[in-house]
Amino acid sequence: METPETKLSACGLPSRVVISMAGRAVQHTDAEWRARLTPEQFRVTRQQGTEPPFRNEYWDHHEDGVYFSVGSDTPLFDSRDKFESGTGWPSFTRPIEAKFVAAEVDESHGMKRVEVHCAVDGGHLGHVFEDGPKPTGLRFCINSAALKFMPRADYAKWVAARG
């Protein structure tokens, strides 16, 4: 019988683990973030930067697996939800677990957009737009510098270690 303790979330983790991870704020000083991240990762995730289109690690990446936040061990997007948007950045129809991605209105650069960030570590990921394919109609346009990739078999082991 399935109980709240054993029910699995969308990312494959038990619901109790998702709730625990989502409530855990990873915080560091700028100096600590700079020591943990590459200069480009710091610029994108901590300073709300954007990397160039078509010249980033994952825009044309097709391996099966899961994309994590570079700022924390938080799974954010599944390759099964990745699609070719033609924009030059990795694009996804949805996050792997809604609790791990937060959004807020971004009115910088003379535009009104919806910025998305990792809810666990606060790192800027990119933006979400309402011009994506079915089933969600959403396009999460994400900077590769905000992500690290884990192949599906390794992800299964990662989930099992936390279950």
Residues taking part in catalysis: 141
Phi, psi of 27 (to 5 degrees): -130, 140
Give which of 145, 136, 161 is closest to 80, Cα–Cα: 136
Length of the chain: 163
What's the distance, CA 37 to chain centroid? 16
Q: Is the peptide bond before 151 cis (omega within 30 degrees of 0)?
A: no
Q: What is the Cα gyration radius of the chain?
A: 16
Residues 102, 33: Cα–Cα separation, whole Å? 20
